[in-house]
Amino acid sequence: MTNHANLGETIRLVLSEPILPKEYAVALDDWARSRYAPTPTIIEAARTLYMNHSVEDITRHESEGEQLERTTQYIQQVIRNTKEKHEKSICFVTGVPGAGKTLVGLNVAIQQSNEDLAVYLSGNGPLIDVLTEALTRDKQAQEKACGNKITKKEAEREVKRFIHIIHRYRDNMLGKVKIVDNQLITDTTTELEDERAGYGEVENIAIFDEAQRSWDKDHIAAWLSKKKGLVGFPMSEGEFLIWSLDQRKDWAVIVCLVGGGQEINTGEAGIGEWIRALNETFPDWNVYISSQLTAKEYAEGKVKELLEANKHVVYSEDLHLAVSMRSFRAERLSSMVHYLLDCDAEKTREIYKSFSDRYPIALTRSVETAKKWLRQKARGNERYGLVVSSKAYRLKPLAIDVRCKPDTVHWFLDDINDVRSSLFLEDAATEFDIQGLELDWTGLIWDGDLRYNKGSWDNFEFNGGTKWNRVNKAERKMYQLNAYRVLMTRARQGMVICVPEGAPKDPTRLPEIYDETYNYLKSLGLIEL
């Protein structure tokens, strides 16, 4: 044990002692010469890729690098084959939460943008905002270090060459079409046909992140009618993206990055809608699909059934990312969360016990205790923050109001001196703010919207004034479970869960609303604070 007063003396003492011979798993000389390779956040990884590094340069150990590189190479081979044969292809990439799906998408977009025209698309506004801002800041710093002057607007324009919010890409195509007899056709009076691209957008390759969150036909039709005055839109968002790339005369590839059990909002069509569109409208497209896409998390386990009649399907293990990079101390975290939400206490305890020494999950009834735990756990530049369900309306007495949205760019990127930063522990992010992103440590504040009750979950929604109303619709129940699934898989190194004690005199926050949930979580062997 040492401190600043005698550290030098201690080091000298250790160095003067002979090292006793001992068998180590790794030779000490090899360990000393090996590179420092911490697992990056998606923001750090995107920055590194943008500086012309490969995925192998930014992973913690070889198996992760090989996994990501294998998936990237498989997609690039599909792109090469499709280009050579002048065909149209679509790839579905699956993976456990935090396995690197977004990283693969960015990697393909950046690498292919040097050779072909590629764009990375996502409907996740916070993810796009945070990545764009991070890369813009880096671009400015990089140019400044080289003695070049560049405005933030110029740097941002460079970044936006290959990274877009899906709505912007969709709106570009909407300007080229009209609806006739419930059919979508190109408006040739306003658009000139390109020799290679036809009437499609300029990119040959579109990578669509979180494809399961694309809107269904009714949702996008209602939105376009209200916001754009476009009445009777006949396609879902996924079908329209395929249609847009199908307009190209030469070739096109779509890469869909798919998260299982992560649909969290009304109107999200899920992956089944993409497959329906391929079967019914685009039967000539080649379909390259992860063998894991047949699991029950995807299209309710009906993917294989939906694709049985399609003659252009190729299954590949290389399109599934099986190891979580996010929770690098607990690669089985997503499995644990799965069983926790399935109310399988025995299996949850078993899995948590296997990594509890490396990935702590603490439990408390106090928000202040949770905040103190986060501050104590974080080291150096590690980030922490509070997360809550978007339906957590009765945390206001604890100074957490889900109606006050965090500024996600500042929340994820700025330091502890900025009150908008996650590190200030004032603003809490919901599943919509943090999906696709991560922190090192998270504090999940659990409200009465999801309550444990004798081996199952009861779902509630606050009416805004006096009481909680029970949620009975199966789809909305699924969204609530998925919201907590997202929130419990955002931490890379550990998390604390706070289930408030409630207030006996407040009928909207009675202790019995929270107690059973706390007792269930306590029974799983979590660390009580």
Q: DSSP of 147-166, one letter per residue? A: T----HHHHHHHHTTTEEEH
The total number of residues shown for the chain amounts to: 529
**Nearest CA among 263, 289, 264, 262 for reference residue 275:** 289
Which of 367, 354, 439 minimizes the C-alpha distance to 42? Answer: 439
Q: Are residues 370 and 317 both part of a single domain?
A: no
Angle at 447 between CA 442 and CA 452, to 5 degrees: 105
E-state strands within 116-214: 118-122, 163-165, 177-180, 183-186, 205-209
Distance CA 82, CA 112 (A): 14
Q: What is the pTM of this model?
A: 0.73
Instruction: Classify residue 147 as left (phi > 0), alpha (psi -120 to 50) or beta.
Output: left
Which among 277, 292, 321 is the end of a domain? 321
* 18 in any annotated domain: no
Helix (H) or strand (E) holding 89: strand 88-95
Residue 37 lies in a domain: no
Position 60 scores a pLDDT of 41
Task: Confirm whether 327 is domain-assigned.
Answer: no
Which residues span the domain enclosing 294? 42-321
Q: How far apart are CA 27 and CA 66, in angstroms?
A: 23
Instruction: Give 227's contacts (C-beta < 8 A, 6+ positions apart).
Output: none
For residues 317 and 349, state if they share a domain.
no
Bridge partners, residue 185, by sequence: 178
Domain match, 261 and 360 both? no
| Per-residue confidence in pLDDT tens, the chain, 529 aa | 889 899 999 999 988 988 777 777 777 777 666 655 555 666 776 776 666 544 444 344 444 557 788 898 999 999 999 999 999 999 999 887 667 788 888 888 877 766 767 888 887 888 888 888 988 888 888 888 888 888 989 888 888 877 888 887 788 788 778 888 888 888 777 777 777 777 767 688 999 888 887 888 888 889 888 878 888 889 888 899 999 899 888 999 999 988 765 555 555 667 778 888 898 899 999 999 887 776 655 555 567 777 777 788 888 989 988 766 655 555 688 889 999 999 999 999 999 999 999 899 999 999 999 999 999 999 888 899 999 999 999 999 999 999 999 999 999 999 999 999 999 999 999 999 998 788 999 999 999 999 999 999 999 999 989 999 999 998 899 889 999 999 999 998 999 999 999 999 999 999 999 999 999 999 999 999 9
Last residue of a domain, one of 262, 294, 321: 321
Total domain count, the chain: 2
Same domain assignment for residues 213 and 262:
yes
The verdict on 215 and 97 lying in the same domain is: yes
Q: What does the CA dihedral 368, 352, 257, 207 come to, rounded to 10 degrees?
A: 50
| Dihedral, CA of residue 454, residue 455, residue 458 and residue 459, to nearest 10 | 160
Residue with tokens 């604070």: 529
Residues 283 and 424 in one domain: no
Q: Are residues 76 and 180 in the same domain?
A: yes
234/178 same-domain check: yes
What is the per-residue pLDDT for 268?
Answer: 65
Query: What token pair was written down for 15?
Result: 């160095």
Is residue 490 included in any domain, yes or no?
Answer: yes
Q: Do 302 and 376 fall into the same domain?
A: no
Q: Are residues 314 and 342 in the same domain?
A: no
pLDDT for 32 equals 67
The one-letter code for the residue type at 17 is: E
Distance (Å, whole) CA 523 – CA 286? 49
If asked whether residues 170 and 100 sit together in one domain, one would say: yes
From the number of C-beta atoms within 10 Å of its C-beta (0-12, 13-18, 19+), residue 344 rates as middle
Q: Is residue 35 part of a domain?
A: no
Residue 27: inside a domain? no
Residue at which a domain ends, from 264, 296, 321: 321
Give domain status of residue 513, yes or no.
yes
Helix residue spans in 270-332 (DSSP H): 271-280, 303-307
Region of 288 on the Ramachandran plot (φ > 0 left; ψ -120 to 50 alpha; else beta): beta
Asked if residue 17 belongs to a domain, the reply is no
pLDDT for the residue 420: 95
218 lies in the same domain as 273: yes
Helix (H) or strand (E) holding 256: strand 252-259
